[in-house]
Amino acid sequence: MAKKNEEFVTHITSRDEDFSRWYTDVIMQTDLVDYSDVKGCMVIKPYGYAIWELIQKELDARFKATGHKNAYFPLLIPESLLKKEEEHVEGFAPEVAWVTMGGNEVLAERLAIRPTSETIICSMYSKWVQSYRDLPLLLNQWCNVVRWEKSTRPFLRTSEFLWQEGHTVHATEEDAQNETMKMLGVYEEFAYNVLAIPVVTGQKSEKEKFAGAERTYTMEALMQDGKALQMGTSHNLGQHFAKVYDIKFLDKDGQLKYAYQTSWGVSTRMIGGIIMVHGDERGLMLPPKIAPIQVMVLPIAQHKEGVIEKAQELCDILIAKGLRVELDDRDTVSAGFKFNECELKGIPVRIEIGPRDIENGVCIVVRRDTLEKQTIELTNIGEEIDKILAEVHNGILKKATEMRDSKTFLAKDYSEFKDAIENKKGFVKAMWCGETECELQIKEETGATTRCMPFEQENLGNVCVHCGKPAKKMVYYAKAY
RNA sequence: CGGGGUGUAGCGCAGCUUGGUAGCGCGUCUGGUUCGGGACCAGAAGGUCGCAAGUUCAAAUCUUGUCACCCCGACCA
């Protein structure tokens, strides 16, 4: 006899009690990842990888729609090649992993395992770009990169991670800037419409920008513990790399010119963001569009005649609608266990169907985000589920937006600023003089960094919140992952 | 690299102060009864107590050394 337990039970640490522990509990118990024997590297298990595959699919469709093609460049980069762009090397030097041996022989020149591929891609682009007719060159690659991190956390910071990096070449500065903004726009649209995560977009400060970029743009999301996470970046590289790697083309006017470039990327870190934005006390909450299983069908009292058959029939109808559906027909665990497991794993919708329902021609549909149960007629179940999945998406986006807004504060002076960072925790909007020195001091004193200078500027005052000098920009500050 | 902490069954931990040859919860396996919110009963398997040396009749426990991992800082998608 199953225990009639009205209280829902969870086996994960409370979010409020220890957010970091909660995060670890969720990713380990939901079968997303496992720790490997390699320091700082995670194993992405099938359930976690399926999420990444869906992210890839959604993004690829967007990249293709904006004229980009996929390619693949080598994992290993000769030291000499990597070292050409000074600012770039300086930025990445501390975290590059090196290959020094080939078989039993010491290599004459060490090979870097790519921390990012600008250098190797630019070295190829210099061969490929000769004429204005070759431009724009719009490529993307899906790959792994390695950065030797001192402290790591699954998805958020691992020594090796998966990402996509777009690298484009343009004839004019204007084209490059347009591309930079366009791709940030693609990421932003993706964040809202696929991940259901509200973001703040804007430009990075000099201190925070990508090593070797002219300008870096970013989208920043806020996690439930009030820390910010950079979810994607888009860089206008200007002619920095073109000059170093000699990417020149003959323009319409017969002049030989250096090309303008961009690069942009998002990584498996996004999955960490999804967990920390949407997750709750019961575990994961996956946005329907990237949920490997959108609907789990649970037969109740499945040993009784006709139940499994009816549940399978229901599955088939939904699969035919193009939904990702699974039937949990295990007879080794109780129904209650399955309910909890569905919630833990963040499956957006589950359907319970048992003898009583079959008799009445209905099923019970439960939304993961609200845990609301509704009785739905089997006759038009396909349309209803579509509708409910859309409602779940909108519901979690709304909730996440409210969460972000409730954790976004204004600071007119430095005491307000410190109070907001230390006690309230979240985004803090404040005016800034534009000096790196000020940023450094603020970080030293509060732990907060500038996240971005948002495109949507507001005038909160005329002076810098820290030094009191004339203010140039409104900035989002936060402690960040 | 600075500061702190932890290593005992697959996972989470207790035992250590005051030495006496290892235990709890979860999980796993077997059988049965269950199955509409993490079922129950009965039985079973599983540990050179991180590693090494020392003290002792006797070490998970005391001493010394060593290794590994985790957290907080510095650095970063």
Could you tell me if A334 and A372 lie in one domain? yes
Q: Nearest-CA neighbor of A45 among A56, A60, A57, A35?
A: A35
Amino acid identity, position A275: I
**Confidence band (pLDDT; 50, 70, 90) for A8?**
low
Q: Is the CB of A468 under 7 A from strand B?
A: no
Range with the poorest average pLDDT among A79-88, A116-125, A341-350, A363-372: A79-88
The helix (H) or strand (E) run that includes residue A244 is helix A240-245
Give the position of tokens 């509708």: A387
Q: Is the CB of A303 under 7 A from strand B?
A: yes
Q: Which residues face A168 on adjacent strands?
A: A138, A262
**Confidence band (pLDDT; 50, 70, 90) for A25?**
confident
Q: Among A353, A369, A398, where does a domain finish? A: A398
Could you tell me if A244 and A379 lie in one domain? no
Q: Which nucleotide is nearest to A355 (CA to C1')?
A: B36
CA angle, residues A150, A203, A145, in degrees to nearest 5 = 35
Task: Determine the 3-state secondary structure of A234 from DSSP.
Answer: strand
Q: Distance from residue A41 (CA) to nucleotide B52 (C1'), in Å?
A: 30
Determine the number of helices (DSSP H) and then strands (DSSP E) in chain A. Answer: 14, 23
Q: Is the CB of A333 under 7 A from strand B?
A: yes
Q: Distance from residue A387 (CA) to nucleotide B56 (C1'), in Å?
A: 75
In angstroms, the CA A201 to CA A166 distance is 19
Q: If you write DSSP's letter for every residue of A435-470 in order, what string do you get?
A: -HHHHHHHHHHHS-EEEEEESS-----SB-TTT-SB
Could you tell me if A384 and A344 lie in one domain? yes
- Residues lying close to strand B (Cβ under 7 A), chosen from 82-101 of chain A, are 91, 94-95
Arithmetic mean of pLDDT, A35-63? 88
Res A251 pLDDT > 80: yes
In angstroms, the CA A193 to CA A402 distance is 16
pLDDT digits (tens, 9 = 90+) for A411-461: 999 999 999 998 888 999 999 999 999 998 898 888 899 999 999 999 999
Could you tell me if A156 and A8 lie in one domain? yes
Rg (CA), chain A: 25
Give chain A's domain count. Answer: 3
- Residues lying close to strand B (Cβ under 7 A), chosen from 150-169 of chain A, are 150-153, 155-159, 161
The domain of A453 spans 408-478
- Report ipTM (2 d.p.): 0.82
Q: Strand A295-299 vs strand A325-327: parallel, antiparallel, or unpaired?
A: parallel
The helix (H) or strand (E) run that includes residue A248 is strand A248-250
Is residue A465, in this structure, part of any structural domain at all? yes
Q: Is the CB of A127 under 7 A from strand B?
A: no
In angstroms, the CA A231 to CA A141 distance is 18
Is residue A288, in this structure, part of any structural domain at all? no
Q: Among A398, A416, A450, where does a domain finish? A: A398
Q: Distance from residue A308 (CA) to nucleotide B62 (C1'), in Å?
A: 63
